[in-house]
Structures are given as C-alpha cells and as structure tokens.
Amino acid sequence: MDKIFVHEVGPRDGLQVEKSSVPLEEKIRWIEGLLDSGIDIIQLGSFVHPEKVPTMADTDALFKHFSARGDSPKNVIFSGLVLNEKGLERGLACGVEMFCMGVSASETHSKKNTGMSTSEALKRITLMAKQAVRENKRVQVSVQSAFGCGFEGPITKEKVLSIVKEYLNAGLKIICLADTAGHAQPMQVEELYASIRQLDPSVEMACHFHNTYGLGLANCYAALKSGVTYFESAFGGLGGCPFTKLPAGNVCTEDLVHSLQRMGLRRDIQLDQLLGVARQVSTHFNRELPGAVLKSGSIVDFVGTGL
C-alpha cells in the first residue's frame, strides 16, 4: 500500500463556519501542536474576502508567520485554498507550498460559492492551477459536491468524471473528491474512485468527507480500499461549507488517525498530540466537539492493530 497522507484542514474548513473569529496567536498555538503530531499537510486557511468569511481574515499573516520560521518540520506541507486569481496572487506572495482549488459539480452550489457556473469556474480554476504549477507549486484540484448536493440532490457520475477529465487533460494529477453536503455512501465512493482510476492509473487521489449523516469514517475506509492516499480531516470534527444547505462537520482528525492506527497504519503520528489540540479547541469554543476518541480515549495501545 502507498503511503497514507493526512491533510489537516481544521484551521480552514474547521473554522470557516464559526461565528466568532479565533485570535491569530491562538491559531498559531493550535497549528504548532499539529506540527508536533507528525501530520503531513496542514491547511492554514483560505484566500477569500474577509467580509464573506471573517474567520479567514488572517490567512496571509499565518502563512507569513510559518514561512518565516526556520524550525518547522521539513516534511510538513502548508496548503491554502484559493477560489480566484486574486487569491492565487495572495497565496504566491505569502509562501503557500500547496494550492488547493476546486469546482463544484452542482450548479447551484457553484453559483452560491463562487458566483459562477460549473463550466465558468472550471475554465478559471484550470488556468489558475496551471499557473501555480508553472510557479513550481504543488497543486491539488477538487470536485466539490461530488457525491450529492443539499440543493440539487444526486449528482451524476458522468458530471463528476467530466470535470476530472478536464483536470487530467490539463496535466493535473492530484485530484480530490469532496463530499461537501455529506451525501456519500461507501459503495458510491468505491465506484467513483474506481472510475477515476480507469481514466488514469497514475492519478493521485484524495478525499474530503463530511460527517453530516454519520458515514464519514466508513467513506474514508471505502476510499482507502479504492487506492486513495490523501485524506482530509479537521481537528475535533469541526467545519462545514458556509455556502451549502446544511453545513456539518468534517471527518475528525483524531478519529481518522485512531482508525488508521487500529489497522496498523500511520503509527508514527502522535495521537495524544492531536487530542491535546482538540481539547484546546474545545476549551476555546466552550463546547463539546463531535470527535469520538476525544470523549472515549484511544484503545490502540491496549488492543494493538486489531488485525
């Protein structure tokens, strides 16, 4: 099995729907805790207009802070989400190492999220992604609402694959399917990723699941079986797209890592460190977070892999 990469999106997707902003110093403390855990990729924020998503107003400052540090682990990649050319320009100026950008397969969600149709957004995103590649940046492109939409309901496999084909034709090989509305189920996950693999066996596949209906980890396992190697998750299970009908939390990072470790994978990640960050986040917001292992504790050390 190829190496499994855990992509922590808590600082971005986890916080973007929160009603109150988190002080920059607090975000830095949480991210430093993530760095100490052995996580592979950390998404520090998104380059959006601060009036639309106030919790992301300090994204540039976060990247500048961590880009200037000389003691960050060399194997950790800092990613950022961009929606338009201005966001890409800002990201290039402040040290983004990996750009994440995507197009929604739902016309309704695309209009609410970007003000553009799917086809309009696809043209712009593809050009932006190619520009980032020319700048020697790592680029991951996604299909949002790939498994269903809260506004439109089911999304056809053909619609998703038509977007994937455009990415592949542009030479973009790290492709993520995002379950923005949380509609995915495991059999659907396996079928869709298998279809992508048939289009191009060399593609690097990523997944982003929300736990809206309780199937987040089950879908991650289906993705793992299908050859997906990049898994996006958020500390404490926070998050949700503010422009979808029913925002709900991401797959919880601690639960994902715990599950992987039960299967004998990624035992190098410090689960206790992740739990410590989640506790800090819970204390800050003064509420219980959705994460299961945060409540129950780990059983990895007691029962091993379970194999």
What backbone torsions phi and psi does residue 70 show, to the nearest 5 degrees?
A: -100, 0
pLDDT digits (tens, 9 = 90+) for 199-254: 999 999 999 999 989 999 999 999 999 999 999 999 999 976 555 545 568 999 99
pLDDT of residue 26: 97
Cα 264 to the center of its chain, rounded Å: 23
Q: Report which of residues 58 and 113 the model is more confident about.
A: 58
* Residues known to be catalytic: 241
Angstrom distances, CA of residue 218 to CA of 146, 189, 271: 17, 10, 20
pTM: 0.94
Going 149 to 154 to 158 to 159, the CA torsion angle's sign is: negative
Domains of the chain by range and CATH? 5-303 (3.20.20.70)
- Rg of the chain in Å (alpha carbons): 18
Quick: pLDDT tens for 2-13: 599 999 999 999
Cβ pair 175, 192 in contact under 8 A: no
pLDDT tens digits, one per residue of 113-148:
778 889 999 999 999 999 999 999 999 999 999 999
pLDDT score, position 174: 98
Q: How far is CA 96 from CA 63, 80, 247, 302, in A?
A: 7, 6, 27, 40
Residue 40, pLDDT > 60, answer yes
- In terms of Cβ atoms closer than 10 Å to its own Cβ (0-12, 13-18, 19+), residue 307 is exposed
Whether the pLDDT of residue 151 is over 80: the answer is yes
Q: How many CB atoms lie within 10 A of CB 58?
A: 20
Examine the pLDDT at 305 and tell me if it is beyond 90: no
Over residues 260-285, the mean pLDDT reads 96
- Compute the distance between CA of residue 203 and CA of residue 307 in angstroms, rounded to an integer: 29
| Residue 260 pLDDT exceeds 50 | yes
- Portion of the chain with pLDDT greater than 70, in percent: 93
Mean pLDDT value of segment 33-57: 94
- Which residues neighbour 155 within 8 Å (Cβ) at sequence distance 6 or greater? 105, 106, 145, 146, 147, 148, 149
Measure the CA–CA gap between 159 and 289, rounded to whole angstroms: 35
Instruction: Give the model's pLDDT for residue 241.
Output: 59
> Residue 73: what pLDDT?
74
Lowest mean pLDDT among 39-43, 199-203, 238-242, 256-260: 238-242
- Model pLDDT, residue 74: 75
Work out the mean pLDDT of the chain and round it to a whole number. Answer: 92
Q: Residue range 189-196: average pLDDT?
A: 98
Structure confidence at residue 307 (pLDDT): 47
